[in-house]
Amino acid sequence: MTVTAVRFTTPLPDLDRVTRVDEVGVNERVARFQSRSIKTRSKVEALKMVLSMIDLTTLEGQDTPGKVRQLCQKAMHLHDSMPGLPHVAAVCVYPTMVWVAKRALGSSGIKVASVATAFPSGMAPRKIKIEETKMAVAEGADEIDMVISRGAFLQGEYGLVFDEVAAVKDACGDAHLKVILETGELGTLDRVRRASWLAMHAGADFIKTSTGKIQPAATMPVTLVMLQAIRDFWYETGRMIGMKPAGGISNSKLAVHYLVMLRETLGNAWMTPDWFRFGASLLANDVLMQLQKQATGVYQSADYFSKD
């Protein structure tokens, strides 16, 4: 059965009309987010929100079904001795591991996200990238995390990058598409803003900072620029787009600062796993430790929290 989709794509936008970005100004705004003091009940609320937004991730050459099953176990049982915890939003794996995750997660409500399009480099023929996407979706992936062609973008081949995203979106069918910009390779915030604008117009449901495979991965300045692009896109089209910073967010304090940034840029509507995700692996345990500390009043040890 095919669902006749109403495509929310528009023609290639004029990237010269995208607002410029001043790096120093962005850093200053970020510094204000980082000086917010999130305490007591708002801290607990935030930490739980962070948990619910995590895409627990394993994207290693050495991944096996066994490894993925263990990750899914963690996803469903973050820390059973602590009641009232939400589950993570999704588990993120390579296409060949989608069937493992799907089976392991069952009806837990946790989504299966799959990378595709020759992640992380994106250096493969279009045909293969589309094939891979279709394969992941067929295996049951709820979400596809694709990478844009950075080389083409830096060359100024915006049409090519745009068409590719649109084509992958087509291949996704009912799956949601996250478009990874790999901001660490784009270099400047101006380019991040333009790439965000392009991806959203091409059909992205989420825009994502990084593959997590190079440095720098997600940073607050880059994320802020992308959130501002999402806001402008919403004002222009009425469409909400989600955002996912990935890589480099390994402690709770930083994650909570991201939530502050999200709240003050886009407001309450985006503060759910439907619209914001953290691409992280070590973050969950740090959040759990912080929650435990809030509940008991004492600092915790990693020995008491299961590793994957």
Partner 1 sequence: MRPAKGRDVDTQTNKLAFDGGWQYAPAPESTDHIRIDDRYGLFIGGEFVEPARKGAFPSINPATEETLAIVSVATQKDVDRAVAAARKAFNGPWSKMGAAERGKFIYRLARILQERAREFATIESLDGGKPIRESRDIDIPLAAAHFFYYAGWADKLEYAFPGRNARPLGVAGQVIPWNFPLLMLAWKIAPALACGNTVVLKPAETTPLTALKFAEVVRDAGLPPGVVNIVTGAGETGAAIVNHPDVDKIAFTGSTGVGRIIQKALAGTKKKYTLELGGKAANIIFADAAIDQAVEGIVNGIFFNQGHVCCAGSRLFVQESVENEVVRKLKDRMETLIIGDPLDKNTDIGAINSKAQLERIENYLTIGRAEGADMYQSSCPVPDRGYWCRPTLFTGVSQSNRVVQEEIFGPVLTIQSFRTEEEGLSKANNTPYGLSGGVWTDKGAKIFKMTQGMRAGVIWANTFNKFDPTSPFGGYKESGVGREGGLHGLEAYVSLEA
Partner 2 sequence: MAKPAPRIPVAKTYKIYIDGKFPRTESGRYFPLARKDGTVIANVCRSSRKDFRNAVVAARGASPGWAGTSAYLRGQILYRIAEMLEGRAGQFVAELVVQGVTKKVAQAEVEASIDRVIYYAGWSDKYQQIFSAVNPVASSHFNFSLLEPTGVVAIIAPEDSGLLGLLSTLMPVIVGGNTAVVLASESLPLSAVSFAEVLQAGDVPKGVVNILTGFRKELNVQFASHMDVNAVVYTGDSDDVARDVQVEAARNIKRVVSRAGMKWSSGSAQSPYLIKDTQETKTTWHPVGN
Rounded to 5 degrees, what angle do the CA atoms 221, 223, 228 make?
100
C-alpha–C-alpha distance, residues 19 and 8, integer Å = 23
Amino acid at the residue 161: V
Residue 87 binds what, of partner 2, partner 1, none (CB under 5 to 8 Å, by partner type)? none
* Active-site entry in 145, 178, 205, 286: 145
Catalytic annotation present for 67: no
Q: Which two tokens stand for residue 248?
A: 């480099």
* Adjacent-strand bridge partners of 177: 144
Residue 207: CB atoms within 10 Å: 29
**Which member of 64, 73, 155, 188 binds partner 2 (CB under 8 A)?**
188
Give me the residues that bind partner 1 (CB under 8 A), please.
3, 5-6, 19-22, 24-26, 28-29, 35-43, 45-46, 49, 173-174, 176, 205, 228, 231, 234-235, 238, 240, 259, 263-264, 266-269, 271, 274
Place of tokens 């300045």: 221
Whichever of 189 and 262 has its CB closer to partner 2, that residue is 189
With CB under 8 A as the contact rule, the residue among 106, 156, 159, 187 that binds partner 2 is 187
Instruction: Please state the separation of Cα 303 from the chain's center in Å.
Output: 28
154 binds partner 2 (CB under 8 A): no
Q: Does residue 208 have an active-site annotation?
A: yes
The verdict on 298 binding partner 2 (CB under 8 A) reads no
Quote the least distance from Cβ 188 to partner 2, whole Å.
5
Instruction: Check the CA dihedral 53-114-230-20 and report its sign.
Output: positive
Residue 34 near partner 2 by CB under 8 A:
no
145 annotated active-site: yes
Among residues 43, 74, 111, 244, which one is catalytic? 244
Which of 43, 111, 208, 286 is catalytic? The answer is: 208
Q: Which does 127 bind (CB under 5 to 8 A by kind): partner 2, partner 1, none?
A: none
| Using rule CB under 8 A, residue 23 touches partner 2 | yes
CA-to-CA distance for 87 and 102, rounded, in angstroms?
A: 16
- List the 143-147 sheet strands across, edge first: 242-244, 206-208, 176-180, 143-147, 111-115, 90-93, 54-57, 278-280
Cite the active site residues: 145, 208, 244
The residues that touch partner 2, with contacts defined as CB under 8 A, are 22-25, 27, 187-190
